[in-house]
Amino acid sequence: MNFENHPCFNESAHRTYGRVHLPVAPRCNIQCKFCNRKFDCVNESRPGVTSGILTPRQAMAYLAEVFTVKQNISVVGIAGPGDPFANPDETLETLQLVREQYPDAMLCVATNGLNLAPYLDDLARLKVSHVTVTVNAVDSEIASRIYSWVRYNRRVLHAEKGAQILLENQMAGVRGLKERGIMVKINSIIIPGINDDHMEEIAKKMSDMDIDILNCVPYYPNQGSAFEHMEEPSQELVEKIRTKAGKYVKQMRHCTRCRADAVGLLGETPDRPLMNKLQACEKMDMVAVYQEPVIDRTRVAVASMEGVLVNQHLGEASNLLIYGKKDGRIMLEEAREMPPKGGGDQRWQQVAEILSDCQVLLVSGVGDNPRQALSQSGIDVYQIEGLIDEAVQGAFEGSDLRHMIRRANAQCGMGCSGTGGGCG
């Protein structure tokens, strides 16, 4: 995986390497006054436009065709047509499937940042290497002139309140991305009379946050939007802004305002046959055609307090030890962090996703709900006690583990050697 081959983050790569955007995220959680998300307009090249909306599995069928037709795709991204994290389930499932089927592909996401922070660890786990966050102001009063509303925690917020929360969440998201070693591009839309005099302040703030590249994007008039009467900023103004911003942070100067279903080189004419393929995939019944062996379940997960014994209740584990097999040898590969307690059934779905490459989970205790969620995801849960080495070797060899089965009452919160906090 060569990060230098990302066509948006590296100008020298954009004539050689292409990208594909998978349109799996139709919903949005903010309303920008410059945006009118018109889904089916094949002649337009701008964010929010796509020829179809795909489910994650439909997206995989489409992606297979893209890789067959286009030999220069280095990046698989999700950029809408809404916001990826207004559609977190679809986004994470798609990223997971791509990572499993195409482990060497660069993964990229473009977001407004409102709901980014809760999914930072998921992005790191899936090895998403590049994220673009659209930040149009670092002052909430200016931002309040750009957005009609913000939907956050199931509430619709207007004016400055929504803009303030958006800005706070964007900054938290950017900080979290950089802390996890993920490369960050900031998109800032130049809107004449609104934030054109503010772009230098955005650049200063983003420089302080050590972002990798800033893309000052000229506003494009969209019919039907609140700002449709505004004119596109002149090239002279755009260059003046980029020059000032460039004193603080590297500038992207080759942006082509990519569609949510963009594919190929930046600026390349939309590929009509691939658009037709995308629309055909949108109509596919993936339950009938999807082949499940996409998931390579070759690992064993263990809940342990000290790394020697299988001796921890799943609900009390803060991380799970992951064992794999290489060259005939069983070895500890990593420790994967568990989702925070308190998520109910959703927490166990997240655990199932974290363990999607594991065939077996070894624990000393487990509740009915997590056992059911994991079993439905194809993970065999064994409630045992004993040495990890013996148990893991038995799991890999398919040996009988009945002699290690825990006989004591393993009701949630009882019989555990931990805090008794249970499966929160």
CB neighbour list of residue 369: distance below 8 Å, 6 or more residues apart:
345, 348, 423
Nearest to 375, CA basis, from 392, 351, 340, 394: 351
What does DSSP assign to residue 21? E
Predicted local distance difference test score (pLDDT) of residue 164: 94
pLDDT in tens, 90-101: 999 999 999 999
Question: Which residue shows structure tokens 């000229």?
Answer: 218
Question: Which residue shows structure tokens 């930040």?
Answer: 135
Which residue ranges make up each domain of the chain? Answer: 3-286, 295-404
Q: How far is CA 271 from the centre of its chain?
A: 26
**Using CA atoms, how far apart are residues 108 and 258, in angstroms rounded to an integer?**
13
**Using CA atoms, how far apart are residues 125 and 263, in angstroms rounded to an integer?**
25
**CB 261 within 8 Å of CB 50:** yes
Predicted local distance difference test score (pLDDT) of residue 289: 45
- For domain 3-286, the CATH class is alpha beta
Predicted local distance difference test score (pLDDT) of residue 39: 42
Predicted local distance difference test score (pLDDT) of residue 11: 66
Predicted local distance difference test score (pLDDT) of residue 4: 76
Catalogue the E-assigned strands of 153-259: 155-158, 183-190, 213-218
Predicted local distance difference test score (pLDDT) of residue 48: 62
Q: How far is CA 342 from CA 166, 339, 350, 375, in A?
A: 25, 9, 12, 21
pLDDT in tens, 325-345: 888 889 999 999 998 888 788
Nearest to 160, CA basis, from 174, 146, 173: 146
Question: Which residue shows structure tokens 């969209």?
Answer: 222
- What's the token pair of residue 374? 């994991």
β-strand partners of 310: 386
Is the peptide bond preceding residue 84 cis, with omega within 30 degrees of 0?
Answer: no
Fold of 295-404: Nucleotidyltransferase; domain 5 (3.30.420)
**CB 219 within 8 Å of CB 232:** yes
Predicted local distance difference test score (pLDDT) of residue 44: 42
- What's the token pair of residue 108? 């990229």
The residues of the chain scoring below 70 in pLDDT are 1-3, 7, 11-15, 37-48, 256, 267, 286-297, 406-424
Nearest to 30, CA basis, from 114, 109, 110: 114
